[in-house]
Structure formats: structure tokens, C-alpha cells
Amino acid sequence: MQYPLSRDEHAAMARYLMGIRKQLQDVSDLFTARYGKNSNVAEIAVKALVSSTLLEHELMLLDLDSESARPAGHDVESLQIRSVAF
């Protein structure tokens, strides 16, 4: 299965999402402390945090799926070289 992100793009997105999640955690904590956990702004901040966490998790699952689809110990280049050698 082929994915639209290269390895470098995937790694960059994972880093970006981790940063976004950490920032949203700070925002959520601040709004909860200032406005109370039952305020609309705090609830929306928590939902944003949950959404970013889910997106980060899905990206991780894509990475695990792509690794399991690859033969163990082989990358695409070595498979191509080996097929040419035969």
C-alpha cells in the first residue's frame, strides 16, 4: 500500500502534530483554570486537544501499517536492486 506522504513528510507531520498537541494542552489547561472546566471555551479547547491527539494517533497508525507492509529488514531500494540482480 502506498501513502501520499514521503518518510520525511511523515516525520515532519508527526513533529508538527506533537507541537500542536502540546500547545493545545497548554491552552486547554489555561482556559480550564481561568474559566472553569464546564465553560464553553474550556470544553471547546478540550475538544480541540482531543482532535489533535486523535490525528496524531492516526498518523502513528499509518506509520505502523506501512512498516508492517514492508518485508522485515528490507527497504524498497534493496528489493529493487535484488530484483535486477536476478
pLDDT reported for residue 5: 87
CA dist 23 and 40 (Å) reads: 19
User: pTM for this one?
Assistant: 0.70
User: What DSSP designation does 5 have?
Assistant: S
pLDDT digits (tens, 9 = 90+) for 42-84: 999 999 999 999 999 999 998 887 777 666 555 544 444 443 4
pLDDT reported for residue 73: 54
pLDDT reported for residue 49: 97
The single residue listed with the C-alpha cell 511523515 is 10
CA dist 72 and 50 (Å) reads: 33
pLDDT digits (tens, 9 = 90+) for 2-53: 658 888 999 999 999 999 999 999 999 999 999 999 999 999 999 999 999 9
